[in-house]
Each structure stands twice: as C-alpha cells, then as structure tokens.
Structure 1
C-alpha cells in the first residue's frame, strides 16, 4: 500500500472512530436522560400517592369530628378534591361518603345537618354515570336534592320526608318503602324507579305503574 493510501486509510479510520465515539456518547446521554425521566416520573407518582394518602387520612379525621359541623363539611370537600386529583380513589371516596350519609344522626333534628347535605351534593357531582349509590335507610328529612343526579341510587327505607326533589334525576332508583311524605317532586325523573310501598302524604303509595321491576339487591357501597 502506498504511503498516501495508508495515510488516507488511517485518517478515514480515525474519523470513523470519532464518529462512533460521538454516537456512543449521544446514546449514553439519551439513556441517562431517559433514566432521569423515569426516576422523576416514579418520584412524582410516589409523591402523589403519599400526598393523597395523607389527605385521605386527614379528611377521615375531619368527617369524624363529633362536635364540629364545619370540620365535617371541610372533610367532605377534602374528599371531593381527592377524587378529582386521583380518579382511582373515587370509588373509595364514594364509599366513605355513602357510609357517612347513612350514619344515624347523633341528635334528633328537624332536617339533615349541613355536613350531610354537603356530602349529598358531592356524591351527585362525582358519581359516574349509572354508578349505584347505596343510601338505604338514610335519614334525609328535609334534604335539598333539587336538580341533583342520583340515577340508579338505592334509597330503600330512606326517610326523604319534606325533602326537595324538584327536578332531581332519580331514574332507576330503588325507593322501596321510602318515606316521601311532603316531599317536593315536581319535575323529578322517576322513570324505571322501584317505588313499592313508598309513601307520600296521607300514606299514598307512589307510582305503582312505574315500579314493576324487581328491587335491587342490597349489596354495593
């Protein structure tokens, strides 16, 4: 091989080696960046999980505050924020709110307390379409459900006397033996609802013509 050819070959080899080295450095940098992104994402998810768990614990403490209605109302709205921030927590939030609403009041009251009213409003906002909400035997006298969405909910044996259900969506609800005496029902959608033995004023049975379906089973939230 001539000297000029050898020098040219060596030059080409050095260029190729430099290009290969640059490529390896580029790949290494990309892998390092990708690794940092993966670590950052994992750290973010961990931080969200810790934040949600801490917030959930705090919210439970708030709604369990026996003598403080404002704290319980704050806990209800804290649960709504948790459901909005982490949709995977929504079923757990719905379950907690249902249990909270079903809990018998500590003192006799002419109508429901503001914390229970807030929980009803939040449930209506966060429930998924056609999600079953179980509020059997809940004491909801005087509740304001005006225009709220409780499709497919179960109110078996619930006390809804004096409640405002004007324009409420109660389609497919189970209202078996519910007390609806003096309830405002103007514009409420009761289509496909189970209404056997539900009571209106003077002990009238509500809409038997619209209640031919079998009652829902009692399982659920």
Structure 2
C-alpha cells in the first residue's frame, strides 16, 4: 500500500512538473530572448513547448508500458498460484489417476514459473515421503548382492512418477535440497538423474539403479545401498556415514571428495572400479 502511494505521488509530481515546464519553461530557460514578444520569440516558445510535450508523451508511454508489464506479471502470478493450488488438490486425491495429474501439473509449473519451482519440488518430495515410507515391520531388502532382480519394486506408481519428475528436472543452483529421508525406494531404475544435494538418510535404495546420474553433494547417512547401481554417476562431495554399501556398483563413477570413511561394506575393489576418487575419504586412508 505504501509503495503504491509513493508511485502515485511520483506520477502526480511528474505531471505537475511537466505542466509547469509547458507553461513557464520558455521564460525560465530562455528569458533573455523572450523579453520582447516577437515572431521569433513566439516560434521559440512553440518549439520549447513542442519538445516538452514530446518528452511528456514519451514519459507517459514508458509509465504505461511499466504498468502494463506489472499487471501482466501480477495476473501471471495469480494464474500460477491457481494452477499450483489445483495441482496440490489433485495430488491429495485418493485415486492414482488424480495423483498422476497433480504430479505432471507440478512438473509443468516447475518449467513455466521460476518463482514456484522450489515449492513444486518440495511438494513432490513431500508426496514421495508420504506415499513411500520405510515400513515399520517386515523385510527391508528385496535384493541380495550378486542376485538378479526377481521381485517387483514396492514403490507406488505415483511416487515413482514424482521421483522421475524430480530426477529429470533441469539443474539449477536455486533448487532446494531434495528431502527424501526414510523413503522405501527399492528396485527403481532411473537413468541420468539429477539428485544433486538430495538427502537420502535412512532410505532403502537396495537393488535400485541411478546410472550416469548427477548426485553431487548428497547425503546417505545409514541408507541401505546394497546392490545399488551407480555406474558412471557423479558422486562428488557426497557423504555416506554408516551407509550399507555391500555390492554397490561404482564402475566409472566419480567419487572425488566423497566421504565414505565410515561406510559399511565398501571394498577396495569397488573403489578401484571408479573413474576417479580424488581426495575421497575412505575407510583405509
């Protein structure tokens, strides 16, 4: 409100100044030549007023463009807010079809609106945490190192779709952390993921595969990574405190500056298969 009053006051002041220049300007700026009313003096007055009028028209056009653009941005923001609210409503639906509609609506918002991108990402991550949590009881592993995947993934289709939307988004330094802690994400296979700065604390990723992905600066505290395929992935500066890494495939992976000092099940053979391990913190270093 205060900002609007200030803008209105500036516009009123500008109009007043323009009118003053139009009426009194010639005598103020060229009083020596206008002491006597002559045809030449009249032409000078008309020329000055024409110039001032042109400046006023130009200023009015600029102000008009500014307010047109501002109204466009406000209307566009309102449209995105409405789209976001409808997408969240769909995401909270009971049927999988409605949830899928909400997921892909949020993906579209992520692409179209930089202002709503972070909120859309955080909403999708919250949906995954809600729909695919670590089970309280029962077996927590589907896969054993060296064995083939013979069981289906327990991850609901809607949660998988939400994870894929997050994974394939265009990288941006402004994105928030991807909070996926305590999620059951077994048996998934998604290539070329963007999981930079993701938090996978206590997650079960056994038997999943994220080959050729970007997983820089992520956190895997006490995560179950048994049989996880990370071939060709970039794990630079990621941390693995007490993660279970038996059978984790690091062939051609980049683990520069990664912290695996207290990871469980990590072998020299696994690290030797990596593409690079510059300044990595390993159990035997």
Question: Which bin holds the TM-score, normalised by the shorter protein?
Answer: 0.7 to 0.9
Equivalent residue for 1:103? 130
Separation in 2 of the partners of 1:120 and 1:21?
65
The structure 1 segments of at least 4 consecutive aligned residues displaced by more than 6 Å after TM superposition are: none
Equivalent residue for 1:142? 187
Separation in 2 of the partners of 1:62 and 1:182?
35
Matched, 1:205 2:264: yes
What SS does the aligned partner of 2:110 have? helix
Deviation at 1:158, TM superposition (A): 0.7
Separation in 1 of the partners of 2:239 and 2:215?
10
Matched, 1:112 2:139: no
Instruction: Extract unaligned runs of 5+ from structure 2.
Output: 1-35, 136-151, 248-262, 269-279
Equivalent residue for 2:80? 52
What is the TM-score with the length of structure 2 in the denominator? 0.62
Separation in 1 of the partners of 2:46 and 2:176?
63
Taking a change above 3 Å as real, the CA distance of residues 58 and 126 of structure 1, as seen in their structure-2 partners, is: farther
- Asked whether the equivalents of residues 193 and 211 of structure 1 are also in contact (C-alpha less than 8 Å), the reply is no
Question: 113-122 vs 45-54, which deviates more?
Answer: 113-122
Taking a change above 3 Å as real, the CA distance of residues 94 and 19 of structure 1, as seen in their structure-2 partners, is: same
Separation in 1 of the partners of 2:265 and 2:236?
12
Taking a change above 3 Å as real, the CA distance of residues 199 and 149 of structure 1, as seen in their structure-2 partners, is: same
Equivalent residue for 1:42? 70
Q: Which of the numbers 84, 90, 93 marks the counterpart of 2:117?
A: 90
What SS does the aligned partner of 2:198 have? coil
- Asked whether the equivalents of residues 82 and 89 of structure 1 are also in contact (C-alpha less than 8 Å), the reply is yes
Matched, 1:179 2:207: no
Q: Which of the numbers 172, 190, 207 marks the counterpart of 1:128?
A: 172
Taking a change above 3 Å as real, the CA distance of residues 208 and 52 of structure 1, as seen in their structure-2 partners, is: farther
Separation in 1 of the partners of 2:209 and 2:121?
22
CA RMSD of aligned residues (A): 3.1
More helix by share: 1
Separation in 1 of the partners of 2:190 and 2:220?
15
Q: Which of the numbers 195, 217, 220 marks the counterpart of 2:240?
A: 195
Q: Which of the numbers 83, 90, 100 marks the counterpart of 1:62?
A: 90
Instruction: Extract unaligned runs of 5+ from structure 1.
Output: 1-7, 214-221
Show CA shifts across 1:3-29 (max 9, x none): xxxxx9621122112212322321221
What is the TM-score with the length of structure 1 in the denominator? 0.77
Separation in 2 of the partners of 1:158 and 1:29?
64
Separation in 2 of the partners of 1:65 and 1:126?
27
Separation in 1 of the partners of 2:37 and 2:153?
98
Separation in 2 of the partners of 1:186 and 1:24?
70
Separation in 2 of the partners of 1:165 and 1:91?
23
